[in-house]
Structure 1
Amino acid sequence: MEPEVFVDVFRIALGQVVVLVSAAILPSLFVGLTVAVFQAATSINEQTLSFLPRLLVTLASLMFAGHWFVERLTGLFYTMIDLIPQVIG
């Protein structure tokens, strides 16, 4: 049981987390930025105005990329299963 195996497992899992979270959050970030610029340009100071577009874009990105998310997580699961002999022995 070598420490490098655990580092590799952690690196792979953390990379997957970063990719999946970025795919879900970045569209919402861009919509929030666009709404904030619009609010600044029109002097509208309503805090709840940016919530609904961000929520809808986040849900849409999860809906459209859901198959890809499951595919990536399944690949990660298979990778972890393949690494079990290295971790144990």
Structure 2
Amino acid sequence: MTPETVIDILREALWMIVMLSSVIIGPGLVVGLIVSTFQAATQINEQTLSFLPRLLVTLIVIIVAGPWMLTQLLDHAHRLISSIPYLIG
């Protein structure tokens, strides 16, 4: 196994991490920004007002995008496992 191969495997794994985490974190960031803007405009300083919508959006995104994320992760693992003979030999 060459260093280039190891770097390619790590690059693919890191890209998978970024892609799957951005699907979950992105909508939460957008909702947090909207709620923070609303709080600044109305001068409401309630902590649960910013936490609860982000939590709900994150749970909804995990429920909706969960099967796609699992499929991506399983496909990546399958590609890695099936390429072991080529990587070693």
TM-score between the two structures when normalised by the length of structure 2:
0.94
Matched, 1:80 2:85: no
Give the superposed CA RMSD.
1.0
Q: Distance in 2 between matches of 1:2 and 1:83?
A: 14
Once the two structures are superposed, the pairs formed by residues 1-89 of structure 1 within 5 Å of their partners are 1-89=1-89
What are the superposed Cα offsets for residues 3-43 of structure 1, whole Å, 9 maximum, x if unpaired?
Answer: 11111110111000000000011000000000000000001
Shift of the alpha carbon at 1:73?
0.5
Aligned residue pairs total 89
Q: Distance in 1 between matches of 2:49 and 2:59?
A: 17
Structure 1: stretches of 5+ with no match in the other structure: none
Q: Distance in 2 between matches of 1:45 and 1:8?
A: 47
Structure 2: stretches of 5+ with no match in the other structure: none
Higher relative contact order (CA 8 A, sep 6+): 1
Q: Distance in 1 between matches of 2:79 and 2:10?
A: 12
Q: Distance in 2 between matches of 1:85 and 1:18?
A: 27
Q: Distance in 2 between matches of 1:86 and 1:42?
A: 61
Judge conservation of contact 1:28–1:57 (CA < 8 Å) in 2. yes
